């Protein structure tokens, strides 16, 4: 990852910035959406833009029938594009602050708690998302975790966690693909206030089946 990555804030060089939701292609922190089919309307401008990109060895462009998307991680090159080709730029994506930059570069650095930059709450209601280990992850965990917990024990813990949730009085939302016994890509959504109630129990009894806890950081597009 380039050392030339820097956060942009919500506005950068006159452009509104949409927070990146990930490191694109596991490499690029910045993304530029070009306007419409400007590739066809202004071939010379895109040819000149390519001359700048050719000097930057870490970039990638994708083309669709509607537009061109540019991925890069050198802020100096980003500046050149924004300053010299404003008529081509439709939307700019990037990290908005240092915490956001660190997260998208190393999203799994903290295996228990992450911040997710979003424009709205999950289901317009919940600011917490808890990833629950899938059946496939049980097998992986049983081989590599320190406690060497077996697959059967992890499944038992997962089902006990479901029973525990059903005893709670607060509202929450569970996304389950199928029966708990065959869990795959399962999520629990709740509020941070309600998480405070159950987090001690999660830490004591159900940590083996919790993959990750994410907290939504909400941004607004009018900033």
Strands (E), the chain: 11-12, 15-19, 30-34, 59-63, 68-72, 89-94, 113-118, 128-132, 173-175, 186-190, 210-218
Task: Quote the pLDDT of residue 180.
Answer: 47
Task: Quote the pLDDT of residue 188.
Answer: 92
CA atoms within 13 A on the CB side of 196: 2
Ranges of residues in the chain with a pLDDT under 50 are 1, 111, 137-148, 180-182, 222-223
Whole-prediction pTM value?
A: 0.61
Task: Quote the pLDDT of residue 122.
Answer: 94
Q: Which CATH number fits domain 113-218: 1.10.20, 3.30.70, 3.30.160, 1.10.3470?
A: 3.30.70
Q: Where are the domains of the chain?
A: 11-105, 113-218
Tens-digit pLDDT profile for residues 33-68: 998 666 657 788 888 888 999 888 789 998 877 788
Element (H, E) at 81: helix 75-84
Task: Quote the pLDDT of residue 113.
Answer: 65
CB-based burial of residue 128 (10 Å sphere; 0-12 exposed, 13-18 middle, 19+ buried)?
buried
Domain covering 11-105: architecture: 2-Layer Sandwich (3.30)
Edge-to-edge, what's the strand order for the sheet holding 89-94? Answer: 11-12, 15-19, 89-94, 30-34, 68-72, 59-63
Q: Given the structure tokens 């009085």, which residue do they identify?
A: 169
**28, 145, 191 from 121: Cα distances, Å:** 26, 32, 10
Residue 54: CB atoms within 10 Å: 9
Element (H, E) at 12: strand 11-12
């Amino acid at each position: 990852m380039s050392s030339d990555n820097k956060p942009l804030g919500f506005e950068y060089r006159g452009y509104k910035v949409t927070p990146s939701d990930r490191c694109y292609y596991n490499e690029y922190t910045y993304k530029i959406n070009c306007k419409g089919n400007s590739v066809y309307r202004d071939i010379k401008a895109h040819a000149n833009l390519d001359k700048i990109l050719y000097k930057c060895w870490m970039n990638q462009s994708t083309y669709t029938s509607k537009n061109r998307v540019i991925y890069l991680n050198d802020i100096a090159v980003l500046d050149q594009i924004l300053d010299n080709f404003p008529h081509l730029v439709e939307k700019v994506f990037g990290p908005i602050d240092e915490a956001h930059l660190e997260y998208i570069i190393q999203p799994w650095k903290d295996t228990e708690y992450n911040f997710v930059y979003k424009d709205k709450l999950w289901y317009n209601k919940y600011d917490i998302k808890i990833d629950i280990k899938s059946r496939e992850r049980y097998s992986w965990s049983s081989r590599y975790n320190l406690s060497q917990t077996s697959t059967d024990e992890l499944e038992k813990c997962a089902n006990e966690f479901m029973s525990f949730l059903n005893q709670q009085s607060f509202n929450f939302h569970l996304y389950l693909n199928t029966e708990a016994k065959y869990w795959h890509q399962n999520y629990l959504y709740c509020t941070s206030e309600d998480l405070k109630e159950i987090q001690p129990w999660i830490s004591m009894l159900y940590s083996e089946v919790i993959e990750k806890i994410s907290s939504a950081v909400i941004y607004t597009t009018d900033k």
